[in-house]
Amino acid sequence: MTSLAPINNWGGLHPLIVHFPIALLFVAPLFLLLGIIIEKLLKPFYLCALILMVLGTAGIFFAVSTGNSAAEIIATDPAITATLAAHVHFAERSQLSFSILDILFLIYVLSPNFTQNRIGKPDWVAGALFLIIYLFNITLVFNAAHHGGKLVHQHGVRSTLYQDPPIK
């Protein structure tokens, strides 16, 4: 019987956690688009998009938390520090941006105009506008991921998840 790997520190979990919000936030706009295209299923698709967005945004909070912990032990090489600063900048901007987007979309989806279908045809217009704003914001996640990839593949920064703890 195999056992689970020991978790040596919170920062070591960063590579495991960070991919979930990326996947969720990149899939959510597909449901927005499906809601725009298939008008009679607009509400269920928008609800699915909202759930993916909220879960993805929650994942960003975990990713930033584990990333901050992981960053504490990274070497102070100037190139690594610059890449790390860009990675942190885009990650924190993503956190703020998607928190605001989630709140706005939640208000829209829960509004009486949406739930009672009083708006009518402009429902897809609001969805299309939100989709455009969303796609601009997804570039923040893309940039954070790009700089994280540079840390790993260009600078050789590795997770401490499977490193043995220091012997005392």
Q: Quickly state the pLDDT bin for 168 (edges 50, 70, 90).
A: low
When pLDDT is averaged across residues 74-80 and rounded to a whole number, the result is 80
pLDDT of residue 16: 87
Cα torsion 59, 64, 65, 71: sign: positive
How far apart are the C-alpha atoms of 101 and 79, rounded to whole Å? 33
Chain mean pLDDT for the chain: 85
Residue with token string 């299923």: 41
Question: Which two structure tokens, joined as six digits, stand for 25?
Answer: 């936030």
pLDDT of residue 156: 81
pLDDT tens digits for range 20-43: 999 999 999 999 999 989 988 888
DSSP secondary structure letters along 36-66: HHSGGGHHHHHHHHHHHHHHHHHHHHHHHHH
Position 165 pLDDT exceeds 90? no
Please tell me which residue, 19 or 114, carries the higher pLDDT value: 19
Position 63 pLDDT exceeds 80? yes
Question: Which two structure tokens, joined as six digits, stand for 2?
Answer: 């195999």
Cα angle for residues 58, 59, 60 (degrees, 5° grid): 90
Half-sphere exposure of 9 (CA within 13 A, CB side): 17
How far apart are the C-alpha atoms of 5 and 2, rounded to whole Å? 9
When pLDDT is averaged across residues 95-103 and rounded to a whole number, the result is 97
pLDDT of residue 10: 83
Position 78 pLDDT exceeds 70? yes
Please tell me which residue, 112 or 80, carries the higher pLDDT value: 80
pLDDT tens digits for range 111-163: 876 655 555 555 677 888 899 999 999 999 999 999 999 988 888 887 666 56
